[in-house]
Amino acid sequence: MVSECCWLTAGGTATSVDNARTYVNNLIQTVKIGSPRRPLRPIEVLRHILGMFDENQKSPEVEKFFGMFLPNQQAKYGVKFN
């Protein structure tokens, strides 16, 4: 079971919008097809993406950049659910 996953888009090592997009899209595909131990069985997910929106008033600084959307609700990157 997965409870929380995310990738920062800024503020840390190896953080970028491209890396976050790749991570989230790969996570979605993995959840749909199962794990190597249980292929073709979707993974149970409680809450798999840590934040929908960046939180520009959060601290420390690195905590601000977990979202897929900016605080003004503009998407930072596309997500493929199919």
Mean pLDDT for the stretch of residues 7-21: 91
pLDDT at 12: 85
Q: Whose structure tokens read 């979605």?
A: 28
Question: If you average pLDDT over every residue of the chain, what do you get?
Answer: 83
Assign 75 a pLDDT band (cuts: 50, 70, 90): very high
pTM above 0.85, yes or no: no
Catalytic residue set = 4, 55, 58, 63
Q: Which domain holds residue 74?
A: 1-82
Query: Could you read off the pLDDT of 18-27 as tens digits, one per residue?
Result: 999 998 888 8
Mean pLDDT for the stretch of residues 20-49: 79
Count of structural domains, the chain? 1
The tally of CA atoms less than 13 A away on the side-chain side of residue 12 is 14
8 phi, psi to nearest 5 deg: -65, 145
